[in-house]
Structure 1
Amino acid sequence: MVSLNKNILRAILILSYIMVIAFILSGVSALFSYLNTGADRSTMLHTEIQNVEQYQPKLTWQPLQNEGRPMDEENLKALENDYLDAWYVKQMAYKTNTTAGIKDYYTDNARKNLYDFITLNKAKNITVEATTLHHNPTLEFFSEDGQLAILTDRHVVEYKHLFKAKQLVLETTETSTYKIVLLLEDGFWRIRHMVKEENAQYNFEKARISTDSLNIKGINYYPQATPWDMFGDQFSTEILSKDFKIIKNAGLNAIRIFIPYEDFGKANVRPEKLHKLKQTLDIAQAEALNVVVTLFDFYGDYSVMDWTLNQRHAETIVSAFKDHKAIIAWDIKNEPNLDFESRGKANVMAWLDQMIHLVKSIDTVRPVTIGWSNAESAPLLMDKVDFISFHYYEDLEQFEAAVKTLKSKVPSKPLVLQEFGLTSYSGFWKPFGASEEDQANYHKKIQELIAINNLQFMSWTLYDFTYIPKEVVGRLPWRKNAQKHFGFIDKNGTKKEAFNYITHE
């Protein structure tokens, strides 16, 4: 028995020894790994920022005629990347009043001014949200040893929000000229000096775009099987061709379609999505249907630091199709006023204003509008858009009064009733809802009002749907089921009574 106890004790001691040794080895290994990780440049802030596409202002280099050593494309691209990242780091520092990342993009001499500015803002409870939208750098000098570069960046378009105690006190868009000296240190370009030489208020000059030939009599369109996913895996030109013929034969002349921001690739728009959009526009043109293209569907951030990504998205799409004959207008955003409470009205309005400017700078021919969710919001930015679009799902008894008020506020621009309709759902979740007969009477009445008030229109929508994404109306079943039955054609492909009143002509 004693011998057995000794053997058990010996085994426990040996096992404990092995565990201690394993623990020590594990600790040494972890320490070695940590020290090596600390030396790995891929984990440093500098490289992390370069690996994330979070800041893409438009940048146009002037022809390379610099003094000193000739600049090759590879070095110029590296210089450009570090230069723009330095702007991003500075703007993040001003927004958060922290100094994270500044050492990676600014030399000792340049950091002092940034640190002083951050300290002053923190003391006064001031934060600055800013971005640059356009750079036009000229390389003035590149040293023979490749370690120093001097730039002049002209007409830099800068947008700024200044907050004091979290209250917006200043909003401005400026154009500035900077002189910049950069040094190559540890394989990265860092700013040594940045001096603002000129500064002025930015004013966007735009020519008046004619809306005399609009005459929109249309409908909002999604394929029946793929609502809110029109350009997805089930994209079908055959379905589009069939549906567009139905729309044209019904006496309509236009459709409104939606471009989902993330699905199209955000800042880096996917070529296959552009191809599907082109096919859609080509089919619409073949059926003599005009197209209102609504941008930024399923987007709702509006933060200033997101603007450059948003602008590259819109720039790609508008540039690709600005000459397509099917497009009759650009709609910047669907119902942005619904984001006022969650995102801040000032942020949303500023974003819309800048996006209008961008689209108009690319397409100088087609009119621009915004799809406001109600008549009350429709006068917002009325001086910036070319025609006024509003949605109406309220009581028809109040419709004419709402239109009269809107016309008094916007007397000189066309009004488009861009969305309207009535669901014919009266099932379990809404037992006292409208019937198909009620829906038909609604469309008959509103088309009479549209004609009387000389409005252009786009109804909601061609089809009843069997599936509604939760992102559209949420998860509540009474809302989702109601949304499924706004169509003029039911889920079986049969025209409902309302189809007789899809237009007043």
Structure 2
Amino acid sequence: MLKTQNSFLLKGLIILSFVSSCKQQVKNDKTDKGPMVMNQRWSEEKANAWAANKPWLRGANFNPSTAINQLEFWQVESFDPETIDRELGWAQDIGLNCMRVYLHHLAWEVDKTGFKERVKTYLSIAEKHNIATIFVIFDDCWNPTYKAGKQPDPKPGIHNSGWVRDPGDLLYTSDNLMPILESYTKDILTTFKDDKRIILWDLYNEPGNSGYKNRSLPLLKSVFEWAREVNPAQPISAGVWSLDLPELNKFQVEHSDVITYHNYNDEISHQSAIDSLKIYNRPLICTEYMARKHNSLFSNIMPILKKENIGAINWGLVDGKSNTKYAWDEPIPDGSEPNLWFHEIFRNDGTPYQQDEVDLIMELTEVKK
């Protein structure tokens, strides 16, 4: 979910030159309950055994078309199970089996019990459609501030005009946010740590984006520590996405059980990224791709990902309030139809944006027409 053209040039990651054992050191955490041994990163063997028992993952980043952002998705007054059910049904019909879904700590903070019940409702709907879920905990993209309650209306023709970061600028303006974020992370992970409908925890989307750079590193490190304390049955990860952030990249690759990454480039660049990440001998999932303007297409990328057995999670499923059919850097203020959609597979009535794309997806996912 990137904002600038030069921020998605993820290729040649091998130049970071940090091939290591990639194993966390066991450390003692002195607490009132005495010393505690921190759980370790999964071994290569465990990670690859996990992947061997999974089908080829293919899906989309999912936000229902009636939600402009994560808060409208999860707050009680706007949670929309009917739309979720309908749109995940369309995903199932074309053979998608995995959705990447963003949470938000504020929705939890306002209504902890209700929030978790709505997460359970979502998971039940997804399971009905044979769809597994990757949940995202934190995010450094788009609007820096937010508030609970009614969310803003979309700004015509502007990509993700209402999407909000988590925790965003509040992390730097509040003196007591970290304990809240820790409680949120541990509560969600503890509640769902053994839920087989969740396939992976994506702890932090694009850390360092929006100009934060290494200011995001303390929270990135903390969320991995919190997750290791909970020790969920599912793997944890945070996807690499920009060569401009070597310190963040190093931490993410060295601490993720399964390597995840973003790439919105053509097939040559994408293959280069894949080749550079294979050296870590861990399962790979591309958690963001497919931007038609940049020649990241289903036709040239999805076949590569299937051949390499890499999870293929494109940005966007159904055109809606997020406005992600518009390009990051090309707003259309009158809200008219772009000549070429940037993201999304379906119009909000369920018809494909491009039938040939859907035909290809169904061929690759082996769904009979």
TM-score normalized by structure 1?
0.51
Q: Secondary structure at the match of 2:127?
A: helix
User: Aligned match of 2:73 in 197, 210, 230?
Assistant: 230
Q: Deviations over 1:398-452 (max 9, x none)?
A: 22122212223x2x111111111125xxxxxxxxx68xxx88xx21111122233
Secondary structure of the corresponding residue to residue 271 of structure 2: helix
1:321 maps to what in 2? 192
Q: Write the letter of the residue equivalent to 2:199.
A: I
- Which residue matches 2:347? 490
Asked whether the 8 Å contact 2:260–2:287 carries over to 1, the reply is: yes
CA distance in 1, matches of 2:243, 2:59: 19
Q: Secondary structure at the match of 1:230?
A: helix
Look up the equivalent residue of 2:85 and give its one-letter code: S
Match of 2:267 in 1: 396
Distance in structure 2 (CA, Å) of the matches to 1:306 and 1:314:
12
Distance 2:93 2:258 in 1: 27
Quick one: percent identity of the two aligned structures? 18
1:256, 1:356 → 2: CA distance? 19
How far off is 1:356 after superposition? 1.3
Among 217, 223, 234, which residue is 1:366 paired with?
234
Give yes or no for the alignment of 1:247 onto 2:91. yes
| 4+ residue runs over 6 A deviation | 472-475, 480-484
Counterpart amino acid of residue 371 in structure 1 = G
Which gives a bigger RCO, structure 1 or 2 (Cα 8 Å, sep 6+)? 2
- State whether residues 466 and 484 of structure 1, in contact with CA within 8 Å, keep that contact through their aligned partners in structure 2: no
2:40 maps to 206
Q: Give the corresponding residue for 1:196.
A: none
Greater share of strand: 1
C-alpha distance in 1 between matches for 2:252 and 2:85? 36
User: Cα offset for 1:468?
Assistant: 4.1
Instruction: Pick one of 421, 425, 430 that aligns with 2:290.
Output: 421
Kept in 2: contact 1:444–1:501 (CA 8 A): yes
Q: 1:334 to 1:136 in 2, by over 3 A?
A: same
User: Map of 1:141-290 to 2, 5 A cutoff?
Assistant: 154-155=34-35, 204-206=38-40, 208=42, 209-210=46-47, 211-212=50-51, 213-214=53-54, 215-228=56-69, 229-232=72-75, 233-265=77-109, 270-290=112-132
Tell me, in whole angstroms, the C-alpha distance in 1 between the residues paired with 2:307 and 2:330.
38
1:350 Cα deviation after fit? 3.1
User: Match of 2:205?
Assistant: 334
CA-to-aligned-CA distance 1:233-286 (integer Å, 9 cap, x gap): 232222222222221221121111110222332xx6522221111100111122
Unaligned runs of 5+ in 1: 1-132, 138-153, 156-201, 424-432
Quote the residue 2:183 is aligned against: 312
Matched, 1:460 2:315: yes
Classify the secondary structure of the residue corresponding to 1:383: helix
* Residue pairs, 1:20-169, within 5 angstroms: 135-136=31-32, 154-155=34-35
Contact 1:373/1:391 (8 A) holds in 2 = yes
Is 2:39–2:231's contact at 8 Å kept on the other side of the alignment? no
CA RMSD of aligned residues (A): 3.4
Residues 388 and 416 in structure 1, CA contact (< 8 A), matched pair in contact too = yes
Shift of 1:207: 6.1
2:290 matches 1:451: no
Measure the CA separation in 2 of the matches of 1:454 and 1:336: 26
For the pair shown, which has the larger CA radius of gyration, 1 or 2? 1
* Alpha-carbon separation, structure 2, partners of 1:400 and 1:474: 25
Please give the alpha-carbon distance, in whole angstroms, between the structure 2 residues aligned to 1:475 and 1:316: 39
In the TM superposition, residue 305 of structure 1 has moved relative to its aligned partner by 5.6
User: Is residue 369 of structure 2 the alignment partner of residue 500 of structure 1?
Assistant: no
8 A Cα contact 1:416 1:457, kept in partner:
yes
Alpha-carbon offset, residue 314 of structure 1: 0.6
Residue 245 of structure 1 aligns with an amino acid whose one-letter code is G
**Structure 2 CA distance for aligned equivalents of residues 370 and 401 of structure 1:** 20
Query: SS state of the match for residue 65, structure 2?
Result: coil
2-structure distance, mates of 1:224, 1:216: 23
Aligned residue number for residue 223 of structure 2:
355
Letter in 1 for 2:231: D
1:324-381 deviation digits (Å, cap 9, x = unpaired): 2211111101111315x43x51x42232222112113213411001133347765543
Q: Matches of 2:88 and 2:316 in 1, distance apart?
A: 13
- Shift of the 348–305 alpha-carbon distance from structure 1 to 2, 3 Å rule, reads farther
* Contact 1:391–1:419 (CA under 8 A) maintained in structure 2: yes
Gap change, CA 1:270 and 1:307, over 3 Å in 2: same
Task: Name the SS for the 1:381 alignment partner.
Answer: helix
Query: Which letter maps to 2:203?
Result: I
Give CA-to-partner distance per residue, 1:298-337, whole Å, 9 cap, x none.
Answer: 2235569632221101111111222222111111011113
Query: Residues 444 and 468 of structure 1: is their aligned pair in 2 closer, same or farther, counting only changes over 3 Å?
Result: closer
